[in-house]
């Protein structure tokens, strides 16, 4: 492709709303343009990378028995009501009415649609297993779309769904997709980890996320320094590196004491001279996450944690059996429940369920709020002074904690979630009466799995992981063009003649070639070539040709070599072949 015929518009400066390198670079390279928050036009360069990534996905899935289909983007309300996700998905689902006053939503994910697609056609166990996928635009009304294609409202996803006769088969399908994902992410040459994860709104029991490592990643990961344990912090078990046990042997007498103006744990630690980890804080949440219309009241609960720990909303959600993480009570609601403001609350005398984090078990004779403003209780003990509803792992794990499966320690990383695999079981098939006849002629719900890859997010994530101060460094597997030819004197017939010959010959070998034939200064062309980041740059100029040489630059290493024009084709092929 000739630059002069393209729609490539590069910018010197990134817009102020681009916060992370990949977003800045993609905008500067003219790869995406914002239409509205979370909605982007993908420029031709971006689309080329997206299509190449899609091709890799298709190859890996087709070879494992995947069947590609394409489902509608607009779904009727009734379909989503079958699973209660019309309500459960909350405002993330964009809903609207048509001219006949019928409600619809834009597909945020397609479990319902695909289950409907198969439920009358896969009739017998002999029709199973099936692995069905699509690559399609999704719409999620994200609260805060940001980072360009990383968190868009509209984005492209590959979503696959498997249907099996029994759990054993479903887990085999899961394993096959897990391996397909490994193959896909290996092929694009990114540094990623496979981590244990939460099932979120999708539901299901076994699930892994594929996380591309990058500082700008929105996910916190904990990875063991021994063995292959890795988890999203949302679900990572929290285990102290050394068990923490109070020095006290006996339970002492409960005592109330004045703590005027001591509002935070830090205040109280200073006031009492005790470390935060020996104080106990009480947090209040509503166990009504709004997904069950029959539940109207607040359903207040409280959580006890050591002062130095942080509550993990996802663990709490799972312990409470909710669909979404519970909201914290407002100060006013806390007062209604406890009689005091949040800084002076504690479990003693409360009439609501009390959830206690494991970390509290090592403490004896601890301090909590007295449920009276400006007062705390000391020498408080579990069991004697309050009855807990449940003891559980409710806190955030952190770097340095013990690995749950080895003697290793956990190390923190940031990740970008590019893929997610779920074993779903019968969650959707039961609710949607999607059954097949088993060997004995009995109707049974399908065992399902679902599997997503964020196509547009992954392309940007590759750039987040692979760039330098001058621009993008494309991994060859999804590089929009393999070769970027800078024709320095485009009016010089010898220069353009060689550029066009090389373009033709390289294209005939299946390579994608961009020829910068603009009437621009060499410096401008080199800067743009660095910014666009194709693996191999070829510089052809009148002066060089007079010396019978052209220049070849490998983008990743910036290594420069010279070649005679008649050897150019072979040298370029060599460089492209060796590029990563």
Give me the residues that bind ligand ATP (CB under 6 A), please: 109, 140, 142, 151-152, 155, 157, 200, 202, 417-420, 452, 454, 456-457
Q: Which does 401 bind (CB under 5 to 8 A by kind): Mg ion, ligand ATP, none?
A: none
The contacts of residue 5 (CB under 8 Å, 6+ apart) are none
The rounded distance, in Å, linking the Cα atoms of 192 and 203 is 24
Question: Which is nearer to ligand ATP, 200 or 374 (by Cβ)?
Answer: 200
Give DSSP secondary structure letters for 390-448. Answer: EEE--B---TTPBPSSSS-BEEEEEEEEEEEEEEEETHHHHHTT-EEE-TTS-EEEPEE
Question: Which is nearer to Mg ion, 213 or 499 (by Cβ)?
Answer: 213
Minimum Å distance from CB 292 to ligand ATP? Answer: 21
What distances in angstroms separate CA 217 from CA 24, 298, 391, 411, 517, one per listed residue? Answer: 15, 34, 32, 16, 37
The contacts of residue 190 (CB under 8 Å, 6+ apart) are 212, 461, 462, 465, 466, 475
Minimum Å distance from CB 539 to ligand ATP? Answer: 37
Q: Of the candidates 420, 467, 476, 525, which one interacts with Mg ion according to CB under 5 A?
A: 420
- DSSP code at position 311: B
Question: Which is nearer to ligand ATP, 155 or 355 (by Cβ)?
Answer: 155
Minimum Å distance from CB 286 to ligand ATP? Answer: 22
Minimum Å distance from CB 35 to ligand ATP? Answer: 15
What distances in angstroms separate CA 452 from CA 164, 420, 580, one per listed residue? Answer: 18, 5, 26
Secondary structure class of 122 (helix, strand, coil): coil
Question: Which is nearer to Mg ion, 208 or 364 (by Cβ)?
Answer: 208
Q: Which does 107 bind (CB under 5 to 8 A by kind): ligand ATP, Mg ion, none?
A: none
Please choose, out of 160-168, 210-218, 267-275, 416-424, the segment that lies near Mg ion by the rule CB under 5 A: 416-424
Of 49, 43, 35, 11, residue with least CA distance to 460: 49
Interior CA angle at 461 toward 213 and 55, to 5°?
Answer: 120
Minimum Å distance from CB 471 to ligand ATP? Answer: 23
| Residues 248 and 334 sit within 8 Å (Cβ to Cβ) | no
Q: Which does 140 bind (CB under 5 to 8 A by kind): Mg ion, ligand ATP, none?
A: ligand ATP
Of 121, 120, 123, 111, residue with least CA distance to 71: 111
The rounded distance, in Å, linking the Cα atoms of 231 and 404 is 10
Residue sitting closest to ligand ATP (CB):
454
- DSSP code at position 323: S
Name the token pair of 81: 């009501």
Q: Which does 109 bind (CB under 5 to 8 A by kind): ligand ATP, Mg ion, none?
A: ligand ATP
Sign of CA dihedral 567, 570, 576, 579: negative
The contacts of residue 456 (CB under 8 Å, 6+ apart) are 42, 50, 149, 152, 155, 156
Minimum Å distance from CB 441 to ligand ATP? Answer: 36
Question: Which is nearer to Mg ion, 163 or 422 (by Cβ)?
Answer: 422
Question: Which is nearer to Mg ion, 157 or 363 (by Cβ)?
Answer: 157
> Is residue 301 classed exposed, middle or buried when 0-12, 13-18 and 19+ CB atoms within 10 A define those classes?
buried
Of 152, 155, 156, 150, residue with least CA distance to 133: 156
How many residues contact Mg ion, by CB under 5 A? 1
Question: Which is nearer to ligand ATP, 37 or 72 (by Cβ)?
Answer: 37
Q: Which does 481 bind (CB under 5 to 8 A by kind): ligand ATP, Mg ion, none?
A: none
Please choose, out of 185-193, 323-331, 353-361, 415-423, the segment that lies near Mg ion by the rule CB under 5 A: 415-423
Work out whether 24 is an interface residue with Mg ion (CB under 5 A): no
Question: Which is nearer to ligand ATP, 279 or 461 (by Cβ)?
Answer: 461
Minimum Å distance from CB 237 to Mg ion? Answer: 19
Minimum Å distance from CB 129 to Mg ion? Answer: 23
Minimum Å distance from CB 216 to ligand ATP? Answer: 13
Question: Which is nearer to Mg ion, 193 or 476 (by Cβ)?
Answer: 193
Q: Which does 419 bind (CB under 5 to 8 A by kind): Mg ion, ligand ATP, none?
A: ligand ATP
| Residues 419 and 197 sit within 8 Å (Cβ to Cβ) | no
Q: Which does 22 bind (CB under 5 to 8 A by kind): ligand ATP, Mg ion, none?
A: none
Residue sitting closest to Mg ion (CB):
420
Question: Which is nearer to Mg ion, 413 or 436 (by Cβ)?
Answer: 413
Q: Which does 512 bind (CB under 5 to 8 A by kind): ligand ATP, Mg ion, none?
A: none
Determine how β-strand 559-563 pairs with β-strand 206-213. unpaired
Question: Which is nearer to Mg ion, 395 or 420 (by Cβ)?
Answer: 420
Binding residues vs Mg ion (CB under 5 A): 420
């Amino acid at each position: 492709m000739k630059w002069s015929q393209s729609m490539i518009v590069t910018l010197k400066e990134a817009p102020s709303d681009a916060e992370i390198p990949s977003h800045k670079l993609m905008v500067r390279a003219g790869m995406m343009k914002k239409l509205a928050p979370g909605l982007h036009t993908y420029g031709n360069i971006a689309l080329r990378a997206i299509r190449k990534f899609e091709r890799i996905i298709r190859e890996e899935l087709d070879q494992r028995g995947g069947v590609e289909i394409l489902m509608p983007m607009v779904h009727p309300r009734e379909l989503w009501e079958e699973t209660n996700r019309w309500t459960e998905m909350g405002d993330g689902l964009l809903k609207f009415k048509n001219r006949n006053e019928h409600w619809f939503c834009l597909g945020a994910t397609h479990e319902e649609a695909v289950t409907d697609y198969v439920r009358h056609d896969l009739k017998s166990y002999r029709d199973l297993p099936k692995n069905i996928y699509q690559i399609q635009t999704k719409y999620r009304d994200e609260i805060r779309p940001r980072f360009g294609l990383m968190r868009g409202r509209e984005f492209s996803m590959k979503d696959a769904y498997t249907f099996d006769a029994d759990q054993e088969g479903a887990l085999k399908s899961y394993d096959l997709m897990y391996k397909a994902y490994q193959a896909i992410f290996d092929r694009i040459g990114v540094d990623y980890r496979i981590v244990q994860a939460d099932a979120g709104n999708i539901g299901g029991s076994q699930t892994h996320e594929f996380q591309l490592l990058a500082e700008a990643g929105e996910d916190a990961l904990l990875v063991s320094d021994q063995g292959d344990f890795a988890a999203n912090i949302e679900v990572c078990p929290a285990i102290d590196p050394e068990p923490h046990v109070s020095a006290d042997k006996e339970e002492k007498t409960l005592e109330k004491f004045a703590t005027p103006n001591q509002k935070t744990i830090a205040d109280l630690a200073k006031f009492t001279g005790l470390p935060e980890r020996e104080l106990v804080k009480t947090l209040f949440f509503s166990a009504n996450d709004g997904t069950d219309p029959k539940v109207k009241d607040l359903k207040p609960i409280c959580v006890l944690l050591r002062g130095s720990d942080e509550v993990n909303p996802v663990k709490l959600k799972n312990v409470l059996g909710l669909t979404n993480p519970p909201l914290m009570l407002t100060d006013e609601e806390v007062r209604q429940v406890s009689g005091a403001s949040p800084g002076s609350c504690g479990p003693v005398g409360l009439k609501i369920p009390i959830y206690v984090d494991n970390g509290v078990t090592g403490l004896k004779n601890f301090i909590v709020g007295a449920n009276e403003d400006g007062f705390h209780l000391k020498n408080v003990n579990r069991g004697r002074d309050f009855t807990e509803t449940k003891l559980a792992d409710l806190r955030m794990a952190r770097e340095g904690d013990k690995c749950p499966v080895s003697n290793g320690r956990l190390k923190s990383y940031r990740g970008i979630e590019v893929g997610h695999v779920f074993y779903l079981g019968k969650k959707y098939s039961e609710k949607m009466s999607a059954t097949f006849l088993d060997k004995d002629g009995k109707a049974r719900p399908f065992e399902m799995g679902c599997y997503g890859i964020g196509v547009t997010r992954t392309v940007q994530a590759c750039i987040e992981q692979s760039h330098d101060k001058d621009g993008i460094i494309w991994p060859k597997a999804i590089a929009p063009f393999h070769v970027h030819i800078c024709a320095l004197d485009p009016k010089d017939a010898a220069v353009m003649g060689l550029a066009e010959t090389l373009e033709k010959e390289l294209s005939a070998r299946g390579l994608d070639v961009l020829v910068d034939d603009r009437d621009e200064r060499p410096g401008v062309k080199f800067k743009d070539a660095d910014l666009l980041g194709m693996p191999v740059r070829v510089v052809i100029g009148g002066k060089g040709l007079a010396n019978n040489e052209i220049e070849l630059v490998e983008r990743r290493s910036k290594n420069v070599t010279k070649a005679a024009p008649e050897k150019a084709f072979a040298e370029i092929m060599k460089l492209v072949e060796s590029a990563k």
